Amino acid sequence: MTKLRVGVAGLGVVGGGLLSILMQKSERFDRAGIEVEIAGISARNRHRDRGVPLEGIKWYDDPVELARSDIDIFIELVGGADGTARAAVEAALSAGKHVITANKALIAEHGLHLARLAEQKGVSLFYEAAVAAGIPAIHALRGGAAASSIHRIVGILNGTCNYMLTQMAETGATYEAALQEAQRLGYAEADPTFDVGGFDAAHKLCILAIIGFDAAVDFKTISISGIQKITAEDIAAARQLNYRIRLLGIATRSESGLELSVHPALVDEEDPIARAAGPDNVLVFEGDPIGRIQISGPGAGAGPTAAAVAADIVTIARGGGGPVFNAPADRLRDLKVIDPERQTGRFYLRITLKDVPGAIAAITDTLARNDISIDSLLQPSVEAALKKHQPADSATLVLTTHSTSASKMYSVAREISEKSFVSGVPSVIRIEDFQ
């Protein structure tokens, strides 16, 4: 029987869920020959009810003190890239303790530093719960795909955004209404910026890219845009074009370097990525010789996240180790990151026009002068499904382009917005084709 003493810092919903798993003496642990003792706990509020009995467990006001105590594994569930979380994890690693964390921001922004420290001390740093909760994304890349050359990673990495976009598509809800419903159900925080702004997805993408490409990816090099500007009209127009809008994290490796981006995108409605609904996450890895691998499931929630942390405990008990990422931190490649403005692709463009003669012709002429070729054109003002989104004295023009550079597309959109017959700011969204 392998006996492990663990210390848990952070007793929110995930921490409480983990304590419940450990206290129930999981049959899986017994069959694996593992006995886990909760040797210490720490949180900001000592008296809050966590739904599990805490009597008899040693309490630490300072997580750093807990990290240095007589434990085998320090489990960090505090959150945040810096401050208490970082200090406690550094203290635990420096003291020769194994560390498990669900903290995506910490790993994305300081993972290389922490990996070097763990490898110097000969201890493990595991973080399965930091990406996609109940989906074994990290395990898939570090294990099953470890011998393959990964060239693209695509994912719906934020359940909050996917739930909101699904609601907008299925019910016709506005962005604001979908956000309120997500907050009511607990999918979105009171301040949802971290989720809807794309930062949560970007942290996860950074971690996946480091592992998948054996590259020292800097989080600050990721191009990030969220879903705040997606409107009900965009959702409806996408449906008319047989697309769904999803917030995607995309990392691509080529001879030119890395493309790293989190952005809303139109995805063909028949693609499995587009069919991922509600708060679910989906991940696709493409490479040689594995081909295309897709995994999906619950990307958030106390149960799946706590279960992922518990799975890391089992991995440590079984002697799992090796580099924190796919390769030792000091051997990760320094790959060039391509400027997002130089990235190319197809685009969706929606423009609200005042109802004046020649307006559409002027728009198409502007695109032609800038060498942007139109793939399809839709004037949704004649579509009953979109009429309710338009002012009475206006018309909406929606078009898709052939491949062009992002810089050229955004420059043309700014030029179009300055025309006297254009109302508001044109909507520009990338189109991603994965087939």
Residues labelled as active-site residues: 204
The answer to whether 363 and 397 have CB atoms below 8 angstroms apart is yes
Look at residue 334 and give its three-state secondary structure. Answer: coil
Q: Which helix (H) or strand (E) holds 424?
A: strand 422-432
Q: Does 15 carry a binding-site annotation?
A: yes
Alpha-carbon separation of residue 349 from 198, 296, 366, 434 (angstroms): 21, 30, 13, 20
Backbone φ and ψ for 17, nearest 5 degrees, come out as: -65, -40
Asked if residue 249 belongs to a known ligand binding site, the reply is no
**What does the alpha-carbon distance between residue 260 and residue 221 come to, in Å, rounded to a whole number?**
7
Spatial separation of the C-alpha atoms in residues 133 and 157, rounded to whole Å: 10
- CA-CA distance, 301 to 27, in Å (whole number)? 22
Q: For the chain, how many helices (H) and strands (E)?
A: 16, 16
- Going along 211-290, which residue ranges are E strands? 223-224, 243-254, 257-268, 280-288
Q: Is 14 annotated as a binding residue?
A: yes
40 appears as a binding residue in the annotation:
no
Residue 314 annotated as part of some ligand binding site: no
Residue 13 assigned to a binding site:
yes
Known binding residue 104? Answer is yes
Collapsing DSSP to helix, strand or coil, 88 comes out as: helix
Binding site as annotated, residues for NADPH: 104
Binding site as annotated, residues for NADP(+): 9-16
Binding site as annotated, residues for L-homoserine: 189
Binding site as annotated, residues: 9-16, 104, 189
